[in-house]
Structure 1
């Protein structure tokens, strides 16, 4: 697997799994009816932020991550990131590779930590992955996310010192 900068021409491949993941409403705080153009603007970030794709040996986009500073001003030393993996490739290490990549980017860019602002507590695979990479749950907003099948569930704020 190769992780490289995302290009505008990667968007159709990203959208192919981005759209159903967002529309399912189970893991992201995006509107479930998010349109393609707006999704593109939200995901393909301009520098100094960064968006990458993970591609398999055949060149197929199997996952993506975006990384950016979490806040501005005197809090601009904390990074953040978001990840999406094509469901056909879940469990194959794509998410782990993307998360590790974003952490290395943040370290190299001089960030002191990385914070995830809204990790849905029922997204056990993501929570477990982040914990295994050194993140901890700082707190949970009770009923902060309305899951389409499980009702109101918590949103974790997770952090890792870099």
Structure 2
């Protein structure tokens, strides 16, 4: 699998799985009615370093971004977002993207990474903890999950030093 920086022409290959994941409303707090134009502005924002994962046939099977979580004197704390095509789940794409983003964050001089709102029922919580993230706290019943009802949102942290 190749992980590379995304280019503008990648968006039409990201959008179908981005849309499917957000519409499912199980792992992201973004509005399921987000338009393609608004989604592109959110994900492909020039302030973010965006990456794609390609399978050996050249299909885009995942994407991730890296960005500062805060500004000013706290701008060395990173944030990231990850999307893997649901049809490609279980192939290690999420882990490969996560490891790539963590290395890119360290190379860029970030001191830590924070995830602000990880849905507590998201299977990725296991991935993040296996990669050294800790749950700093949970906002109880902050997310209306379509199958589980009200569930918490974890705030997760990892030092990059």
TM range (shorter): over 0.9
What residue is the counterpart of 1:86 in the other structure?
A: 85
What residue is the counterpart of 2:152 in the other structure?
A: 154
Which ranges in structure 2 are unaligned for 5 or more consecutive residues?
none
RMSD between aligned alpha carbons? 0.8
TM-score, reference length from structure 1:
0.97
What residue is the counterpart of 2:114 in the other structure?
A: 115
Q: Distance in 1 between matches of 2:146 and 2:87?
A: 22
Number of residue-to-residue matches in the alignment: 160
Residue pair 1:5, 1:50 contacting (<8 A) in 2 also: yes
| SS of residue in 2 equivalent to 1:17 | helix
Deviations 1:86-130 (A, max 9, x none): 01111111000111111111101111100000100011x200000
TM-score, reference length from structure 2:
0.97
1:8 Cα deviation from its structure 2 partner: 1.1
Q: Distance in 1 between matches of 2:36 and 2:26?
A: 18
| SS of residue in 2 equivalent to 1:128 | helix
Which consecutive segments of 4 or more residues in structure 1 shift more than 6 A?
Answer: none
Which ranges in structure 1 are unaligned for 5 or more consecutive residues?
none
What residue is the counterpart of 1:144 in the other structure?
A: 142
Equivalent of 1:135 in 133, 136, 155 = 133
What residue is the counterpart of 1:37 in the other structure?
A: 37
Q: Residues 53-132 of structure 1 correspond to what in structure 2 (within 5 A)? A: 53-123=52-122, 125-132=123-130
Q: Distance in 2 between matches of 1:56 and 1:69?
A: 28
